[in-house]
């Protein structure tokens, strides 16, 4: 406990990640009554700018897969929380720590969270609001499909003040095991990584055979991906480097979350040209700032407002800027992140 939360070297974190992943496999064996229910469906939850989504993959006895998704738009308080967590001013010290000074500086915050959790409350106001969304989605899947969900992979918008312990506490509050994918270095699976996996990229084919999988992974292309999310309340852009979904490299200086540039902002502008010009500069902002960085081979679009004029505008903007239009991934834009999380869950739990 202390070690993982403190400043464990990468090797230890990896080893622990492994143990957690393997423990899940053993659980399936130890609880024969639930074995069917656990081994033939897998769930992923996503917490995105304007909505939450869930995906469940059923694995039939003949090996065929069936995926279902649900979307829930929680409303004002959720939007307020997501907006707040996107701001630099909301950042605070949180695990994993860079040094022991940070560890001690974070003790009061963690003590307060623990006190709330001890009496059964969410660890913070934000955790409570996020947990309510997952609770809703979980209930919907459970009643629609007659299943009982006890573990899941979580993904979320890459917000600078949303931390690993927030997502872990969301899961803990609902009694859902927070599953960290095998082979994943960082404990949070951000939207870009999950969506890439949701499109079937960045993962090995033969995941049941570990050696073969590792070999395949080293041969995957290292792609530069421009990940764009567009919804009612936000425009987010990230220039990520991805070989496997699990080692997606999306450092702070290469992603932007703007919660005043969603489509709902249009009426507040004096002209729509002004709005689209702000959208354009945000789309190009990271590439402008790092002209030497490799240009994107893939543009991946998520969100609930990915249609019509936005897509046309995005394509024109990017082909003008880059000289050619990269490959565009925009199918299932609202739910592809949740689908990726569910697929990763499937690969973890079937171990
Ligand atoms: C899981 O598999 C068993 C046996 O193949 C089947 O009877 C059951 O309906 C499946 N459950 C779900 C939720 O798909
Ligand atoms: C969002 O975009 C608007 C318009 O370009 C800009 O004024 C604002 O500073 C941006 N906000 C953030 C948090 O980047």
User: Do 272 and 135 reside in the same domain of the chain?
Assistant: no
Q: Is the pLDDT of residue 107 over 90?
A: no
For residue 191, CA distances in Å to 158, 160, 326, 339 come to 6, 13, 20, 11
pLDDT at 68 over 70: yes
Which band of pLDDT confidence, cut at 50, 70 and 90, is reported for residue 184?
low
Same domain for 104 and 32: yes
**Residue 344: count of CB within 10 angstroms of its CB:** 29
Same domain, 20 and 160: yes
Q: Is residue 224 part of a domain?
A: yes
Flag whether pLDDT at 85 surpasses 50: yes
Statement to judge: residues 20 and 57 lie in one domain: yes
Tell me: do 273 and 152 sit in the same domain: no
Q: Which domain holds residue 284?
A: 206-329
pLDDT of residue 349: 64
- Among the ranges given (121-130, 251-260, 261-270), the one the predictor scored with the smallest mean pLDDT: 121-130
Is residue 165 situated within a structural domain?
Answer: yes
Give the strand pairing for 151-156 and 177-178.
parallel
Asked whether residue 340 falls in the same domain as residue 318, the answer is no
Ligand number with the minimum distance to the CA of 39: 1
| Partners of 129 in the β-ladder | none
Is residue 27 located within the same domain as residue 146? Answer: yes
Range scoring the smallest mean pLDDT among 108-122, 127-141, 192-206, 289-303: 108-122
Percent pLDDT > 90 in the chain is 67
Residue 201 lies in a domain: no
Tens digit of each residue's pLDDT (9 = 90 or more) over 298-333: 999 999 999 889 999 999 999 999 999 999 999 999
What gap in Å lies between CA 233 and CA 235, rounded to an integer?
Answer: 7
Q: How much is the pTM?
A: 0.84
Grouping H, G, I as helix, E, B as strand and the rest as coil, residue 219 is coil
250 located within any domain = yes
pLDDT 10s digits, 186-241? 778 999 999 999 999 999 999 888 899 989 999 999 999 999 999 999 999 999 99
Q: What is the mean pLDDT of residues 324-347?
A: 96
> Tell me, what CATH number does 145's domain have?
3.30.420.40
Residue 350: pLDDT above 80?
no
143 and 264: one domain?
no
pLDDT at 23: 34
For residues 31 and 87, membership in a common domain is answered with yes
Centroid of ligand 1 to alpha carbon of 152 (angstroms):
18
Say if 225 falls within a structural domain.
yes
pLDDT beyond 70 at 6: no
Is residue 289 pLDDT above 60, yes or no? yes
Let me know if residue 317 belongs to a domain. yes
Q: 215 and 191, same structural domain? A: no
Tell me, yes or no, whether 184 lies in a domain. Answer: yes
CA triple 262-264-265, angle to 5 deg: 75
Residue 251, helix vs strand vs coil: coil
Candidate of 157, 233, 258, 268 to mutate for ligand 2, largest count of ligand atoms within 8 Å of Cβ: 258
Q: Check if the beta carbon of residue 138 is closer than 8 Å to that of residue 149.
A: yes
Provide the number of structural domains found in the chain. 2
CA–centroid distance, residue 40 to ligand 1 (Å): 6
Work out the number of other CB atoms within 10 angstroms of the CB of residue 233. Answer: 23
Q: Write the DSSP string, 12-67.
A: HHHHHHHHHHHHHHHHHHH-HHHHHHHHSEEEEEEE-SS-EEEEEEEE-TTS-EEE
Using the predicted structure, report yes or no on whether residue 270 has a pLDDT greater than 90.
yes
Choose the residue to mutate in 33, 34, 36, 60 for probing ligand 1, maximizing ligand atoms within 8 Å of C-beta: 36
- Ligand 2 center to 328 CA (angstroms): 25
Q: What's the chain's average pLDDT?
A: 86
Same domain? 109 vs 79: yes
Pocket around ligand 2 at a 6 A CB cut-off: 256, 258, 260-261, 278, 282
CA of 314 to the centre of ligand 2 (A): 18
Same-domain check for residues 181 and 235? no
Tell me what pLDDT residue 61 has.
86
Q: Is the pLDDT of residue 9 over 80?
A: no
Residue 228 lies in a domain: yes
């Amino acid at each position: 406990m202390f070690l993982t939360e403190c400043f464990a070297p990468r090797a230890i974190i990896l080893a622990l990640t492994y143990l957690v992943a393997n423990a899940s496999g053993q659980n399936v064996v130890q609880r024969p009554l639930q074995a069917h229910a656990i081994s033939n469906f897998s769930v992923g939850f996503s917490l995105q700018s304007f909505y939450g989504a869930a995906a469940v993959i059923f694995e039939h006895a003949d090996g065929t897969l069936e995926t279902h998704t649900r979307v829930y738009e929680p409303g004002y308080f959720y939007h307020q929380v997501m907006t707040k967590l996107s701001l630099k001013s909301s950042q605070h010290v949180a695990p994993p720590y860079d040094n022991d000074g940070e560890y001690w500086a974070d003790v009061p915050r963690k003590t307060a969270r623990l006190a709330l959790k001890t009496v059964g409350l969410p660890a913070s106001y934000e955790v409570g609001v996020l947990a309510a969304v997952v609770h809703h989605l979980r209930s919907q899947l459970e009643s629609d499909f007659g299943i009982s969900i006890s573990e899941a992979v979580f993904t979320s918008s890459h917000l600078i003040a949303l931390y690993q312990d927030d997502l872990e506490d969301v899961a803990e509050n609902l009694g859902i095991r927070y599953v960290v994918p095998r082979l994943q270095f960082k404990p949070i699976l951000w939207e870009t990584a999950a969506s890439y996996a949701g499109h079937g990229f960045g993962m090995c084919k033969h995941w049941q055979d570990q050696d073969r999988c590792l070999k395949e992974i080293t041969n995957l292309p290292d792609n530069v991906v421009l990940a764009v999310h567009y919804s009612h309340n936000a425009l987010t852009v990230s220039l990520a480097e991805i070989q496997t979904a699990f080692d997606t490299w999306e450092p702070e200086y290469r992603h932007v979350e703007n919660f005043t540039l969603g489509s709902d902002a249009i009426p507040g502008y004096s002209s729509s040209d002004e709005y689209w010009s702000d959208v354009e500069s945000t789309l190009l902002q990271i590439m402008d700032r790092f002209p030497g960085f490799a240009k994107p081979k893939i543009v991946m679009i998520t969100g609930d407002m990915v249609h019509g004029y936005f897509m046309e505008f995005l394509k024109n903007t990017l082909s003008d800027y880059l000289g050619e239009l990269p490959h565009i991934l925009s199918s299932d834009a609202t739910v592809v992140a949740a689908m990726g999380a569910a697929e990763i869950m499937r690969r973890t739990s079937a171990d």
